[in-house]
Chain A
Amino acid sequence: MDIKLKIWRQSGPKQAGFFEDHRVEADPHMSFLEMLDVLNEQLLEAGKDAVAFDHDCREGICGACSMVIDGNPHGPRAGTTACQLHMREYHDGDEIVIEPWRAAAFPIVKDLVVDRSAFDRIQHAGGYVSVGTGSAPDANTIPIGKRESDQAFDYAACIGCGACVAACPNASAMLFVSSKVAHLSLLPQGKVERKARVRNMVAAMDAEGFGGCTNHGECEAACPKSISVDAIALLNREYLYAGLARD
């Protein structure tokens, strides 16, 4: 199948970017990234610079791949990362527009590659349980209900790709932050530090220059792990609790 591509090219963070037109011959069984590989191979054999994009596991778990495909972070298929998207979703002659995540907190490094270190810095602020190696009690000492555990897992499934920020009209990182806060605060292990955690993580989030949540729910729709936007309400609740409850 003949595919037309409009791809964002930008040589560096300060340089101006632009859309570049390309054509590739794709196979319906290819993954989307394999289609880009084919394009890159074409470019390289022609002696040109190829399109830079982040990727690693190519099975939807590392969170490296990150591109907005026709206005959809990770492409049109719900609950699917760009690397899991396959060309059978497209038809011969389709035109596909590919651009990077766009957010002030995710500056563009090159082409489709952005700098997501802001996410790491938010995690540094409190995305952990303070337990040193060796000081853990036997794992079965604290029983945790299957329901709570499953719920915590639903939030822990976040792959840190940043699609929530990319999709949010306000470039807000609240789904990312809230899924970590929700994961830990739902578990007894995480409850001890819950107040400091939520305060510090929210402060770090603000410092990075993300926008705020205005409850569009676009993050949930774009999340390749289908994390529920309920997390954000839980985050707000934790934050209120941290502010109101006595230390």
Chain B
Amino acid sequence: MKLDAKIPSGPIGDKWDKARFELKLVNPANKRHHKLIIVGSGLAGASAAASLAELGYDVDCFCFQDSPRRAHSIAAQGGINAAKNYQNDGDSVYRLFYDTVKGGDYRSREANVYRLAQVSVNIIDQCVAQGVPFAREYGGVLANRSFGGAQVSRTFYARGQTGQQLLLGAYSALNRQIAQGKVKMHPRTEMLDLVVVDGHARGIITRDLITGEIRPWAADAVLLATGGYGNVFYLSTNAKNCNVTATYRAYKRGAGFANPCFTQIHPTCIPVSGDYQSKLTLMSESLRNDGRVWVPRNKADVNKPPNDIPPDDRYYYLEERYPSFGNLVPRDVASRAAKKVCDDGYGVSKTGEAVYLDFATAIERDGKAAIEDRYGNLFEMYERITGENPYKTPMRIYPAVHYTMGGLWVDYNLMSTIPGLHVLGEANFSDHGANRLGASALMQGLADGYFVIPYTIGNYIATHYHGEVSTKHPAFARAEAEVRERQRKLLEIGSKSGSKRKSVDYFHRKLGKIMWEYCGMARNAAGLEQALAQIPELREQFWDHAFVPGGADELNPWLEKAGRIADFLEFAELMCHDALYRDESCGGHFREEHQTEEGEAVRRDDEFAHGAVWEYTGVGTKPALHKEPLEFENVKLTTRSYK
């Protein structure tokens, strides 16, 4: 596996211009003869499909939801960053670039991040033109807020539904192309394999989720915009159906998977309430602007009603440990601090895994009306889920898996190690390093789709086009046969397993527990070894006892899930290998062996300033490691400190 990041030479500010000039173009009249497959209709997929169709390519777009509008991007709440500097508060492309590289704990590629910051400004223009109703000031101009502890106000938002509004914008652009016949949309169609012909990605195999039809699709290039894999933990803030299948199958066909262990744990989520828990709900990060995080100072008080605990007996651990940032420390720091106090026995609620987020001080200072104005809908949501009134008693929160920075390795042109296979959005590994800043995922997804891939795909087509391939090529038949065989096996387990049968969710939950325990907020070598021993066992049990009802030729949600969980059961091992390999703490990856006395993360730049890119070698065998060294020419590596 060769890792050539294809970073243009020259000063960072000129790289993208240079690249755009050097990238080959496809003759406009020829574009319609080039077929592109786009898997995914989230921000990255929908924006790419629309933009590429506008350019004239012949696009087929796939998603497993019943409508492209329901892709998981719809759920993003807080906002989207852009270096517009509308607030005149000192923001710039360079500052956004700098903050992102630093926030990512120096594990991302400078050139990509700089380009991201550059095109961020165009994203906002594009979205506004589509009719996205961003928040505005009374004077009619766009409003901004500071998000996740950023020092400038560069976050654009649409109430607590930014992702929804942005996705509806991209969906509308997509619809226009569908109406014109330039995009053929295939909802409820799941990609189950990638087809590689002569070393190039030339198609996919899909299952129609309604009829069960399995069929091949050929194209000149394949774009994956299939989102993140946070659901490997079973419980996460991701939508229930998010999964790793598309990227994992591509990995199995030869695409390098980079930094799979980099996961983001979001500090403010509603805690688990019982075994039946199916997902976790994020409470916007903005709550930490006014809420104060605490736990009882005395273990004896953990079961006391919070309002009965006198102020002196409350441990405001973020304020005490990080006096300058206080409650606004970055996500990874806040999450770990919560875990620490809970592990030490100060956690509240019946599980012992929750801390308080208290608005009493803010309500006293600004009045209930002001707080209601700022967070009314969030408080309501909290009450709906927990049945508790956060105006009266402090919220209870706990960290939860939220985002995955790891993903398929891509070069500067968003192409994976398989020529022709391009990867966009959360599915790739590119821009966030070891930790993503709030409001930057939406930015990246749209940057990739609207403003990067339209240029870079042309270069691939112009330089690599090897003539048309049809689905008659034997590679398609082979891949299709493999998909069918796998499906047959999944449907067969149930009939053999008899009374020992378990639902597929049962195995998913078990896998989630292992991953959360050993590959979650804090990791260590012994634990990861444990996980690497337990996962194959669980996988074996799955293939013996997972019960999948129904048949192959109908809507069968359990068959869909079974396939995805089977992939998670293999992928989890890859994550643990990566976490074990990365013998340092950085960003969301905290290795307990590498911390200061006060429990802060310790990076090891001389050994690990690289992307770890894994190559598939077979199920259950250790994948092969490749490294993409990271060079920092513009940002100086420092220790992040929020003291």
List A residues at the B interface (Cβ < 8 Å): 11-12, 27-31, 33-35, 37-38, 40-41, 43-45, 47-50, 52, 54-64, 77, 80, 84, 86, 88, 109-110, 113, 115-117, 119-120, 123-140, 142-146, 149-150, 152-153, 156-157, 159-160, 183-184, 187, 189-190
Contacts and interface: CB of A to CB of B under 8 A. Distances in A.
Contacts of B494: 47
B50 A133 contact: yes
B172 A127 contact: yes
Contact of B187 (A52, A120, A143, A157): A120
Given A47-B547, A84-B385, A136-B128, A61 B75 contact: yes
A150 to B, nearest CB: 8
A63 B164 CA distance: 11
Interface string B72-115: 10110000000010100000000000000000000000000000
Interface in B229-282: 239-241, 273-274, 276-279, 281-282
A120 to B, nearest CB: 5
Interface stretch (B7-15, B129-137, B290-298): B129-137
Contacts of A116: 66-67
Interface stretch (B426-434, B499-507, B536-544): B499-507
B187 A146 contact: no
A183 B278 CA distance: 34
Nearest to B163: A61
A56 B505 contact: no
A30 B274 contact: yes
Contacts of A160: 67, 69-70
B124 interface: yes
Given A58-B281, A129-B129, A132-B51, 4 more contacts: A58-B279, A110-B554, A120-B68, A152-B133
Most B CB contacts (10 A, CB to CB) among A29, A86, A128, A183 go to: A128
B129 A159 contact: no
A132 B570 CA distance: 41
Most A CB contacts (10 A, CB to CB) among B75, B130, B159, B505 go to: B130
Contacts of A159: 74, 164
B136 A149 contact: yes
Interface of B: 47, 50-51, 54, 65-70, 72, 74-75, 84, 86, 122, 124-131, 133-142, 158-159, 161, 163-165, 168, 171-173, 175-176, 178-179, 185, 187, 210, 239-241, 273-274, 276-279, 281-282, 381, 384-387, 450-451, 454, 494, 501-503, 505-506, 547, 549-550, 554-555, 557-558
B129 A62 contact: no
B503 A56 contact: no
A18 B554 CA distance: 19
Nearest to A43: B549
A187 B187 contact: no
A143 B454 contact: no
Given A44-B558, A133-B54, A190-B131, A56 B179 contact: no
Contacts of A113: 555
Nearest to A51: B557
Contact of B179 (A35, A124, A190): A124
A160 B67 CA distance: 9
B175 A128 contact: yes
10 contacts: A38-B276, A41-B505, A48-B549, A57-B75, A59-B282, A117-B187, A124-B179, A136-B128, A146-B137, A146-B140
Nearest to A56: B239
A199 B592 CA distance: 63
Given A29-B273, A88-B387, A136 B129 contact: yes
A17 to B, nearest CB: 14
Contacts of A38: 276
A54 B66 contact: yes
Contacts of A129: 129-131, 172
Given A61-B161, A190-B131, A49 B239 contact: no
Among all A-B residue pairs, the 9 with the closest Cβ atoms:
A143-B140, A128-B172, A136-B129, A136-B125, A139-B128, A153-B133, A133-B51, A44-B503, A124-B179
A56 B210 contact: no
B241 A27 contact: no
A52 B549 CA distance: 11
A52 B555 contact: yes
Nearest to A109: B555
A62 B125 contact: no
